C-alpha cells in the first residue's frame, strides 16, 4: 500500500537549533522518550547516518533501520530501509520563518507492508499524519522547556 502525506509546521526557534535537535539521533530517546523507545546510530558521517529505531506508531511497537541524509540545516531526508514502513521516504525542508521561527515543510511517500498494509488507507493515513504532528508537538514542547538546547 502506498500513499503520500504532507504537512507544514512553524516552530518558535531558530532553524539551526530546530534542525540540530531533530538530527542528533543519539539523543532522540532522551529528548523524546514518549516517541522513541530506543535509537542506535550504527553509521555516521557529517551528512549521513544510519540508525536502528524502536518506536510506537499507531499503538504498535515497531523497529526499523533508517538512512538519514542532512544538508546544511535545510533538508533532512529519511529513507526507511527495513520494517513495516520499508520503502517510505520523507523529506523535511527547514526554512527561516517569521521572526526567529522555523518553518518545516514535510513531504512523504509512504509504503506500508506487514500488518499495517491490511488496513484501509482512509484509516492508516490520518493515523500516520497524526503521529507526525505528534512528533512536531513534542519538538515544540522540548524547545519551550529547554531554551538552552
Q: What percent of the chain has pLDDT over 90?
A: 68
Q: Which residue in the block uniquely carries the three cell numbers 514535510?
A: 106
The pLDDT confidence band at residue 44, using thresholds 50, 70 and 90, is very high
The answer to whether residues 23 and 70 touch, using CB atoms and an 8 Å cutoff, is yes
Kindly report the CATH number assigned to the domain that includes residue 45.
3.30.530.20
Count how many Cα atoms sit within 13 Å of the Cα of residue 32 in the half-sphere of its side chain.
Answer: 25
Q: Does the structure show a pLDDT above 80 at 57?
A: no
The whole-number pLDDT of residue 124 equals: 84
DSSP state of 53: E
Residues 77-128 have pLDDT tens digits of: 999 999 988 999 999 999 998 899 999 999 999 998 877 678 888 888 998 8
Q: What percent of the chain has pLDDT over 70?
A: 95
Q: What pTM does this model have?
A: 0.91
In whole angstroms, give the CA distance from residue 10 to residue 18. 10
C-alpha 4/C-alpha 55 separation (Å) is 21
Average pLDDT over residues 14-43: 94
Record the cell numbers describing residue 64, joined without a space: 526499523
How many structural domains is the chain composed of? 1
pLDDT of residue 1: 85
Residue 7 has pLDDT above 90, yes or no: yes
- How far is the C-alpha of 84 from the C-alpha of 65, rounded, in Å? 11
End-to-end distance of the chain based on CA atoms, in angstroms?
38
- pLDDT value at 148 more than 70: no
Task: Give me the domain span that covers residue 29.
Answer: 2-145
Amino acid at each position: 500500500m502506498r500513499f503520500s502525506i504532507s504537512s507544514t509546521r512553524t516552530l518558535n526557534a531558530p532553524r539551526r537549533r530546530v534542525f540540530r535537535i531533530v538530527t542528533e539521533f543519539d539523543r532522540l530517546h532522551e529528548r523524546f522518550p514518549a516517541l522513541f523507545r530506543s535509537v542506535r546510530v550504527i553509521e555516521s558521517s557529517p551528512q549521513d547516518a544510519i540508525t536502528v529505531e524502536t518506536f510506537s506508531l499507531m499503538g504498535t511497537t515497531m523497529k526499523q533501520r533508517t538512512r538519514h541524509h542532512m544538508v546544511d540545516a535545510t533538508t533532512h531526508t529519511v529513507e526507511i530501509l527495513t520494517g513495516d514502513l520499508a520503502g517510505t521516504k520523507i523529506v523535511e525542508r527547514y526554512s527561516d520563518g517569521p521572526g526567529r521561527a522555523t518553518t518545516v515543510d514535510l513531504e512523504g511517500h509512504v509504503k506500508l507492508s506487514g500488518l499495517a498494509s491490511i488496513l484501509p488507507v482512509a484509516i492508516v493515513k490520518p493515523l500516520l499524519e497524526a503521529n507526525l504532528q505528534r512528533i512536531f508537538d513534542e519538538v515544540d514542547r522540548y524547545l519551550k522547556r529547554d531554551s538552552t538546547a
